[in-house]
Structure formats: structure tokens, C-alpha cells
Amino acid sequence: MQIFENHFLKDLNTFGVAVYAREYTRLQSENEVRQLLDHPAFNKGRHLIMGGGSNILFTEDYDGLVVHMDMQGKEVVRETEEKVFLKVQAGENWDDLVDYCVARGWGGLENLSLIPGQAGSSPIQNIGAYGVELKEHFHSLEAIHKKNKTPVTFSKEACGFGYRNSFFKNRGRNEYIILSVTFVLDKQPIIRKHYGSLAAELADHGIVQPGIADVREAVCRIRRRKLPDPVVLGNAGSFFKNPVVPYATYNRLRTEYPDLVAYPEESGFKLAAGWLIDRAGWKGYRNGDAGVHEHQALVLVNYGDASGKDLLKLASAIQQDVQAKYGVELQTEVNII
């Protein structure tokens, strides 16, 4: 394990924000993780565990140690006639993992195609897209407690999954380092094709009985049309969560805006944050190099040299405007550092 000083992070966050870390290290094995826990640079001050940098906005240089998880490897740890249990190291690229599973006919993750990031961070956010959430195919994860250095196995129940949420974003925040995640996949996949835009995409291509490869390809086409490639245009995907509001709020808004996009939930209705931002006139907005994507209002973009503070200022203005127009609070999906 090596510690590097004054390390440039622009290529390690998908917003492409030009910031520095006082110290930086990359970990490629569990042994190196254990070395880290005993290292003075880790214990003497502030530190940040990060994966692909796809769900983070740096607003200033990081005055501490940035730890980049880069552990690689996949292993079938159990198999039945119907299921495959695949253990994936934390540093594996998420979309490469989805492609790997689809190529082997293992279903479950195909609706989550082209989501940026790494396998180890996927349970923290309980990533989801096109009618599927990660928790539906999650079996367990292995982590290590930062302070007492003991290994811990978390079941699905222990992870406390919610909408874009988990134990690791709440009570367990900053307490553990995730080493690997085990997914349970279907040998006889159940095709989830009825989510609005996905169903339309399949129909447009004349696909009536899609397989998991068809679903993956359809999701990739949609995402490429709607979302900018962070290699070309800095972004972190959806910047805000879709807010869940009570029935009374939904009914009020639906009366005023008959074209409101919303989905029923147990506790009320989930509103499409992108629709709210678009309807408020923000889609395509640009101030300097900080802007809102021209095709997807939910995505903030860095056109070149925007700082994290520039992007955060824009996000705050959007939140205030949506609150004023609709009486709805938008919460960030991206972690602000």
C-alpha cells in the first residue's frame, strides 16, 4: 500500500471537478485494507472511502486521505438448479458486472445496465432503475469495521434497504469498508419489461418477448439518449432523488398540473423530480460551465471548468425554486463533500 501526497482527483470523479486530495491511496486486496486500518495516515485525521467517483461532488480540495477501492474479482460461491450466487469484489465496475451476468444468462441486474460506479458502492445507494432495485437480487455483503477491524457479514435485512437508501447511509455511515457483495441471480430470468419508457423502447424495436440481453440493450439505448457520457460531459447521473409526497400533496399538484408524472407508493406518491425541474424551466439552463442537461433535467453537468461550488450553487437554486413553485422538497442523491 502506497500513500501519495497532493493527488489530483479530476479523473477520479465523474463530474470532472479539479480538486486535490492531501493524501491518496489505492487498495487492491483485503490485506491492503487491513494495512490501511493500521496506517497513521488513516487514523490521524479525515478520510474518504470512494469507488468510481460517480455519486460524489467535491466542493473543495479534500484535506485528508482519499481511499480508492480497486479490488477485483468475481466468484460463483453457490449454485442451485434455479439460482446462482455470485460474489463480486468491491472494485469491480458495475456495468461490466451486468454485462458479465447477461452474457451467462443470469438474470436480475439487466434493468440496472449502464449505471456508473462500482459493485461495492451499489448497496449503499440501493441503486435502481427501470422498475428494479438492487435489493431484489442482493444476498449479502462482507465488510470490515473501521475501528475494531473485525469482519462482518450483512444480510439483506441488516442492510436496511430503502429508496436510494440503506443502513450504510444512516446508522452505519462511515463505520465500515465494504469488501465484496454477493448477488443472487436467476438461471430462468423473470423479465421486468413493463416500466414505461422501457416497455415503449422494446415495442419500438418490435420485441414482444424480450430476453435479458434485449432488456439490457434497450436500457442502454435509453440511457445513452437521455444521459450524457461522463467521459465526454462531466456529471454524476441523477442529482436529485424522486420525492415521495403524501396523497394530499399529490392531489393538490395533480389538480393544478394534470400532466404531473407520479407513481403510487405505500406512503403516498413518488413524483418524477426530472418533471418538476423541467416544468420549472431549468432544463438546458447554463451559468458559466455549470448547467442542467438539455435532454434530462435531473442531471447537472460540468461543461468544462465548473467548480463543485458552482454546481452546488445551481443545485440549491433548483431546490429553492421547486420548493417555491410546488411545495416539494428535493433531496440530493449525490454525496456533497
pLDDT band at 265 (very low <50, low <70, confident <90, very high): confident
Give backbone dihedrals phi and psi of 248, rounded to 5 degrees, phi first.
Answer: -65, -40
**Residue 226 scores a pLDDT above 90:** no
Phi (first) and psi of residue 158, to 5 degrees: -70, -25
User: Residues 121, 140, 166, 238: which is the catalytic one?
Assistant: 238
Q: How many domains does the chain have?
A: 3
Residues 55, 84, single domain; the answer is: no
Question: Is 54 an active-site residue?
Answer: no
Instruction: Quote the pTM value.
Output: 0.84
In a domain, 150, yes or no: yes
Known active-site residue 238: yes
In this structure, the answer to whether residues 133 and 92 fall within a common structural domain is yes
Domain assignment present for 205: no
Query: Residue 116 has what pLDDT?
Result: 86
Decide which of 146, 161, 186 is a domain's last residue. Answer: 186
Active-site position among 164, 192, 216, 279: 164
Same domain, 93 and 45: no
Cell numbers 467548480 correspond to 307
81 with 174, same domain? yes
> Do 64 and 79 belong together in one domain?
no
> Does 246 fall in a domain?
yes
Domain of residue 20: give its range.
Answer: 4-69
The domain that holds 110 is classified in CATH as: 3.30.465.10
Q: Are residues 329 and 252 in the same domain?
A: yes
The predicted structure's pLDDT at residue 43: 86
Place 217 in a pLDDT band, splitting at 50, 70 and 90.
very high
Give domain status of residue 128, yes or no: yes
Does 161 lie in the same domain as 177? Answer: yes
Inter-axis angle of helices 212-226 and 94-103, nearest 10:
150
Q: Where does a domain end: 40, 69, 98?
A: 69
Bin 206: left if φ > 0, else alpha if -120 < ψ < 50, else beta: left
Yes or no: say if 324 and 334 are a contact pair by the CB < 8 Å rule: no
Reported as a single tens digit per residue, the pLDDT across 23-55 is 999 999 999 999 999 999 898 889 999 988 888
Per-residue confidence band for 201, with pLDDT thresholds at 50, 70 and 90: very high
pLDDT at site 118: 93
Where does residue 333 fall: left (phi above 0), alpha (psi -120 to 50 degrees), or beta otherwise?
Answer: alpha
Q: What is the 3-state secondary structure (H, E, C) of the chain?
A: CCCEEEEECHHHCCCCCCCEEEEEEEECCHHHHHHHHCCHHHHCCCEEEECCCCCEECCCCEEEEEEEECCCCEEEEEECCCEEEEEEECCCEHHHHHHHHHHCCCECCHHHCCCCCEHHHHHHHCCEECCEEHHHHEEEEEEEECCCCCEEEEEHHHHCCECCECHHHCCCCCCEEEEEEEEEEECCCCCCCCCHHHHHHHHHCCCCCCCHHHHHHHHHHHHHHHCCCCCCCEEEEECECCCEECHHHHHHHHHHCCCCCEEEECCEEEECHHHHHHHCCCCCCEECCEEECCCCCCEEEECCCCCHHHHHHHHHHHHHHHHHHHCCCCCECCEEC
Q: Are residues 14 and 85 in the same domain?
A: no
98 shares its domain with 135:
yes
Q: Name the band, by pLDDT with cuts 50, 70 and 90, for residue 336.
A: very high
Q: Is 164 a catalytic residue?
A: yes
- The pLDDT of residue 54 is 85
- Strands 62-69 and 47-50, sheet pairing: parallel
108 within some domain: yes
- 8 and 63: one domain? yes
Write the CATH number for 306: 3.90.78.10
pLDDT tens per residue across span 272-330: 999 999 999 999 999 999 999 998 999 999 999 999 999 999 999 999 999 999 999 99
Of 79, 87, 69, 118, give the one whose Cα is nearest residue 181.
87
Average pLDDT over residues 16-25: 96
- Backbone dihedral angles phi then psi of residue 250, each to the nearest 5 degrees: -60, -45
pLDDT at 239: 95
CATH number for position 44:
3.30.43.10
| Per-residue pLDDT reduced to its tens digit, 70-85 | 999 999 999 999 999 9
Judge if 79 and 171 occupy the same domain: yes
Which residues, in sequence order, are CB contacts of 117 under 8 Å at separation 6+?
51, 52, 54, 55, 94, 127
pLDDT at 198: 92
Of 69, 87, 108, which residue sits at a domain end? 69
- Cβ neighbour number for residue 141 with a 10 Å cutoff: 28
Dig out the grid coordinates for 249 from the structure: 400533496
Domain contains 124: yes
Q: What is the pLDDT of residue 80?
A: 96
